[in-house]
Amino acid sequence: MGRRSIVAAFSIFVHAAVLILLMTADFWRPITEWPTPRQATAFFDDTPQPIKIDIELPKPQAGPTTHGPTDATPPTTTSTQIERAPVIEPTSVTKEGGGESVLTGLRGLRDVESNGPGGVGPIGQPATPPAPPVAPTPVRVGGVIRAPQRIVNVTPVYPAIAREAHAQGLVIIEATIDERGNVARAQILKSIPLLDEAALAAVRQWKFTPTLLNGVAVPIVMTVTVNFALAP
């Protein structure tokens, strides 16, 4: 044999050995690495099925037997007929004792049911609660409504930034005065941006005399001005 034949035979032997090892590789693994065989899956119907139960009720027992005839025999009538009392129609109705007091009680109950808002009201229905008082609408000063007098005056504080910017002039405010003369609401009508807050803070602390309309204190709406002027 030549050298080439030996090399070819050895190569064939090596390839065959490697192929055999690859085909039998699963048998050389440890038993812990063997593939888990597939388990058969079975499907069970877990739906509960109704169970029919026959219950035999006890039969009612016969009552105690009575001696004598079972059928009641109608009473026998004699030839003599029973005479009925004659019915006489009364010609007048007399009042029984206590009738007038009953009528008086019914009249009193009817009066209680027909009472107005201050009464109890009809039987079976709850009494209607009184309506909440409605706040009077403020009226504007003018005509017969005179402007109230200011009794508490608070001078506005001139802001420093407004002084440095030489801001001055009139700030016009619409104020709502309540029945006691206090400023309940204030809003700017003519604005000077650096002076508005100072003007509102001062006007809200003012106090006026109450305004009367037909002798009753009412809230009013009036226009006030706050003048900011720098010293020359």
Question: Residues 6 or more apart from 218 whose CB is under 8 A from it?
Answer: 136, 138, 139, 179, 211, 212
Q: Indicate whether 172 belongs to any domain.
A: yes
* Pairing outcome for strands 207-208 and 220-228: unpaired
CATH for 213: 3.30.2420.10
Quick one: pLDDT at residue 77? Answer: 46
Quick one: pLDDT at residue 80? Answer: 46
Q: Indicate whether 85 belongs to any domain.
A: no
For residue 156, the tally of other CB atoms under 10 A from its CB is: 18
Quick one: pLDDT at residue 189? Answer: 96
Q: Indicate whether 185 belongs to any domain.
A: yes
Q: Indicate whether 133 belongs to any domain.
A: no
Quick one: pLDDT at residue 65? Answer: 53
Name the strands in the sheet holding 169-177, side by side, starting at the edge strand that comes first in the sequence: 139-140, 220-228, 169-177, 183-190
Quick one: pLDDT at residue 21? Answer: 81
Q: Indicate whether 213 belongs to any domain.
A: yes
Domain that holds residue 172: 146-151+160-228
Quick one: pLDDT at residue 90? Answer: 53
Q: Indicate whether 224 belongs to any domain.
A: yes
Full DSSP string of the chain? --HHHHHHHHHHHHHHHHHHHHHTHHHHS-GGGSPPPPPPP-----PPPP-----PPPPPPPPPP-SS-SSPPPPP--SSPPPPPPP---S--PPPTTHHHHHHHHHHHHHHHT--TTS--STTSPPPPPPPPPPPPPEESBTTBPPPPEEE--PPPPPHHHHHTT--EEEEEEEEE-TTSBEEEEEEEE--TTTHHHHHHHHTT-EEPPEEETTEEE-EEEEEEEEE----
Q: Indicate whether 106 belongs to any domain.
A: no
pTM above 0.85, yes or no: no
Quick one: pLDDT at residue 145? Answer: 83
What's the domain count of the chain? Answer: 1
Instruction: List per-block mean pLDDT (blocks of 10 residues) for the chain, which spans 232 residues.
Output: 78 87 72 63 61 61 54 49 55 52 57 51 61 76 84 94 94 95 95 95 96 90 94 80
Q: Indicate whether 92 belongs to any domain.
A: no
